[in-house]
Structure 1
Amino acid sequence: MITEELRERVTGWFAGRLPAGWQPADVTIDREEITVVLTIDDVEATAAVEGSEAALAEARAGRASAFREETREQRMEIAREAQHRYERTVSWGVRVGEHRELWTHVAAPVMTRLRQPQRLVLDTLVDAGVARSRADALAWCVRLVGQHEGDWLAELREAMTTVADVRAKGPSA
């Protein structure tokens, strides 16, 4: 489990290490990966994008692409330092207005055992063309739960953090 202390340390390190123009950064941590999503300036309304949602979306995607290329070397250097310090892969992303994209993030394999009723659900999704494989179907299900149960999951994570903090204050073995 990721403790609140680790979360604060990693977030603090990135806040101090990232250039001022890359702030604020949204830092997410799990056992394998640290994902840093940078917020950069939105595109300005110009005659080319004014009134057209499609043009605005493409302008934002273009700004994200340019930022990715322009900052590649600096991001790689920061990632190497963080990976050495925290023993996790560092992945990057960017938010430009309503546009958000992640670059080269980890797709970690997860082993699970499912009984026939659960496998049948996955097979139905595959047979219907919703997913290409059972693995894709399972990932689709997890994304759906995350979207619809986000508040509940956030409350659960907060409760787990509180339990971890209490345990840390207890007697050591």
Structure 2
Amino acid sequence: MRNEHRGRGFGRPGGWQQADLPDPADVPDWFAGRLPSDWFTGSAVIEIDRDEIVVIGELPIPQPEKPADSEPEADAADKVPNATKEGAIARFRESTRSARMQIANEAQQRYGRSVAWGVSVDGQRYLFTHLAVPVMTRLRQPERKVLDTLVDSGVARSRADALAWTVKLAGKHAEAWLEELRGAMRKVDDLRSEGPKGL
């Protein structure tokens, strides 16, 4: 007998739990064709989840003007003042604002997700406005005690901050495992899409 409730049980119905969202598989290719070629050095890094697409591009390291009689330095990039980098970021952010808004609108229509922007300068990332999505959860006393300890010790201002802090910490220390898990989920989704239809 066919299971009339198929796909409603425990697990990942529709892969990524987002069957109603457009497939984001070609997001990097779309942005590669849509972004102006003179914005970044190299290809932009694209990060995607079910809520948001984050586009991060590498800006060239600004080189301050030097007197003609000064000696060349081997590590000139290391000597660039933070203020110079901040100025380059501000210039990029303001000069590209209208174009970024247009691209973001097009991407949101195509993929059903908000678009956030950021840049990388000299190995440091700077994100512009991006989503902070509330996530509701129920915790038993042992888990609440962990959060309360972080609040009471001053590590976090609230339980919400403490939960965000622990998620960041877990992600940082388990990134290799999480990436392996994401790869396995993609394989499952590929196999599911290749399976027989109409079952």
Normalised by the length of structure 1, the TM-score is 0.89
What is the one-letter code of the residue matched to 2:143? Answer: Q
Instruction: Report the number of matched residues.
Output: 172
1:141 Cα deviation after fit: 0.2
- Of structures 1 and 2, the one scoring higher in RCO (CA 8 A, sep 6+) is 1
What is the one-letter code of the residue matched to 1:38? Answer: G
Consecutive unaligned residues in structure 1, runs of 5 or more? none
CA contact (8 A) 2:24 2:111 kept: no
TM-aligned CA distance change 1:41 to 1:52, over 3 Å:
closer
CA contact (8 A) 1:60 1:99 kept: no
Aligned residue for 1:34, secondary structure, equals: strand
1:53 Cα deviation after fit: 6.0
Q: Is 1:60 paired with 2:50?
A: no
Write the distance in 2 (CA, Å) between the matches of 1:138 and 1:47.
Answer: 48
Q: Equivalent residues in 2 for 1:15-94 (5 A)?
A: 15-23=32-40, 24-44=43-63, 56-94=81-119
The aligned residue for residue 104 of structure 1 is 129
Aligned residue for 2:96, secondary structure, equals: helix
Residues 124-154 of structure 1: per-residue CA shift (max 9 Å, x gap):
1011111111110000001001111111111
What is the one-letter code of the residue matched to 2:34? Answer: R
Choose 1 or 2 for highest CA Rg: 2
Q: Is 1:136 paired with 2:161?
A: yes
Aligned-CA RMSD value: 2.5
CA contact (8 A) 1:40 1:96 kept: yes
Q: Is 1:10 paired with 2:27?
A: yes
Q: Which structure has more helix as a fraction of its residues?
A: 1
TM-aligned CA distance change 1:56 to 1:110, over 3 Å:
same
- Alignment identity in percent? 51
Write the distance in 2 (CA, Å) between the matches of 1:52 and 1:133.
Answer: 39
1:47 Cα deviation after fit: 5.1
TM-aligned CA distance change 1:52 to 1:44, over 3 Å:
closer
Consecutive unaligned residues in structure 2, runs of 5 or more? 1-15, 68-74
CA contact (8 A) 2:147 2:163 kept: yes
**Which contiguous aligned blocks of 4+ residues in structure 1 show a shift greater than 4 angstroms?**
45-48, 50-55
